[in-house]
Amino acid sequence: MPLRLEARPEPSRAMLWLSPVLAAVLAAAGGGLVFAALGYDPLVALRTLFLDPLSTLDGLTELGLKATPLLLCAIGIAVAVQAGLWNIGAEGQLTMGAIAGGGIALAFGGEGHWWILPAMLLAGAAGGAAWAAIPALLKTRFHAHEILTTLMLSYVAVQFLGWLVHGPWIDPEGFNFPQSRMFEADALLPVLVEGTRLHAGVLLALLAVPLAWALLARTVAGYRLRTIGLAPRAARYAGFSAARGTWLGLCLAGALAGLAGLCEAAGPVGQLQPLMSPGYGFAAIIVAFLGRLQPFGILLAALLMALIYLGGEQLQVSMQLPIAATGTIQGMLLFFLLASDVFIDRRLVRVARRHA
């Protein structure tokens, strides 16, 4: 073995931010190999995936549209990870947010109340937070690890939505399709750019970036959260309540994911359907790590992930490439990121040959 890994004297800050870039480039290269293996011209496919969506106004607004739920979910996941919590159930919290907010839209939409949209936003956030509060309770009260409980509750939430749109909330004039009525105009988020689908939810997501940054970097609560995550024992000596950190971290993550779900329901979807998201809640885990768990980094990462979703749809339309190809690229992105992250704390050195 001519090469060996050894610990760096200090973690490399350059590598910390270089690593996501490297991972993105490697994942693109890996994607090219997958396209070639499937019998497509890799260069044309990569151009369609990464460049074509950015060349039109329509593409740019769709990018913002897809980045919105990713950004909201990923910020929540990142805050939770900073507090030492693995919330991998954002998909379920997103679903419950869509159900809670969508329920208000179905009950009171079309009556012209001024409060309908604010109430839907609040209910969306509350629905997600309530769903995340269950794992928080199970962790603080019974020590059940959140990684499995959040995920299991995701499956339950999706089945619950399936029951609603197949049963009590089904559109009576919908030819028995499993979906709710379309929301009335007053229960839809206003469109920002005429003729596109970009809605006001993107502003909420953008607002969440500086707010989350301020919470983590500028408040005592954020400082406590990070201490609990980085050094649980030091936090205990300092008297910071780990239980309170769990409640705050998980409920905040749930509220943001719930908001994301409501924005999908009251935005591009406009009703409740059996699946409210093509896996945004899981892709947001990749986004959170790619963005280094920092709100502003996550903004960039969410745009990249939105581009992969958008480009993937374009590939399906123009080259008949299966949408599943993008899922493979997402997975590779996280793998390459974790592999190159190894070199933040360590480096490769040449091993000198030993002489007898």
Partner 1 sequence: MPDAFVLLALLVATLRAATPLLLAGFGELVAERSGVLNLGVEGMMLVGAAAGFIATAATGQPLLGLLVAALAGMLMALLFGLLTLTLGANQVACGLALTIFGIGLSALIGLPWQGTPIAGLASVIWPGLDAAGPVAQQLMLLDPVLWLALLLPALVGAFLYRSRAGLILRAVGESHEAAHALGYGVLRVRYAAVLFGGAMAGLGGAYLSLVYTPMWTENMVAGRGWIALALVVFSAWKPGWLALGALFFGFVTIAQFQAGAFGLEVSPHLLSMLPYLATVVVLVLISRDETRRKLNAPAALGKPFTAAG
Minimum CB distance to partner 1, residue 6 (Å): 7
Minimum CB distance to partner 1, residue 329 (Å): 7
- Asked if residues 329 and 34 have their Cβ atoms less than 8 Å apart, the reply is yes
CA distance 38 to 192: 39
230 or 338, CB closer to partner 1? 338
| Amino acid in position 145 | H
Q: Is 231 helix (H, G, I), strand (E, B) or coil?
A: coil
- Asked if residues 99 and 272 have their Cβ atoms less than 8 Å apart, the reply is yes
117 or 134, CB closer to partner 1? 134
Minimum CB distance to partner 1, residue 276 (Å): 15
CA distance 340 to 356: 35
- Asked if residues 305 and 27 have their Cβ atoms less than 8 Å apart, the reply is no
Minimum CB distance to partner 1, residue 224 (Å): 23
Applying CB under 8 A, the residues found at the interface with partner 1 are 4-6, 34, 86, 88, 138, 142-145, 147-149, 151-153, 155-156, 159-160, 162-163, 166-167, 282-283, 285-286, 289, 322, 324-332, 334-335, 338-339, 341-342, 346
Minimum CB distance to partner 1, residue 250 (Å): 15
Running DSSP on this structure, what letter comes out for residue 64? H
2 or 167, CB closer to partner 1? 167
Q: Is 173 helix (H, G, I), strand (E, B) or coil?
A: coil
48 or 149, CB closer to partner 1? 149
Minimum CB distance to partner 1, residue 270 (Å): 22
Which residues fall within 8 angstroms of residue 90, CB to CB, at 6 or more apart? 73, 76, 77, 154, 253, 257, 260, 280, 281, 282, 284, 285
In the block, residue with structure tokens 């009335």: 184
CA distance 243 to 54: 45
| Amino acid in position 236 | R
Residues for the chain: how many in total? 356
Minimum CB distance to partner 1, residue 38 (Å): 8
125 or 285, CB closer to partner 1? 285
6 or 41, CB closer to partner 1? 6
Minimum CB distance to partner 1, residue 245 (Å): 17
Q: What is the CA radius of gyration of the chain?
A: 22
84 or 267, CB closer to partner 1? 84
Backbone angle region of 56, left / alpha / beta, with phi > 0 → left and psi within -120 to 50 → alpha: beta
260 or 290, CB closer to partner 1? 290
| Amino acid in position 213 | W
CA distance 295 to 240: 24
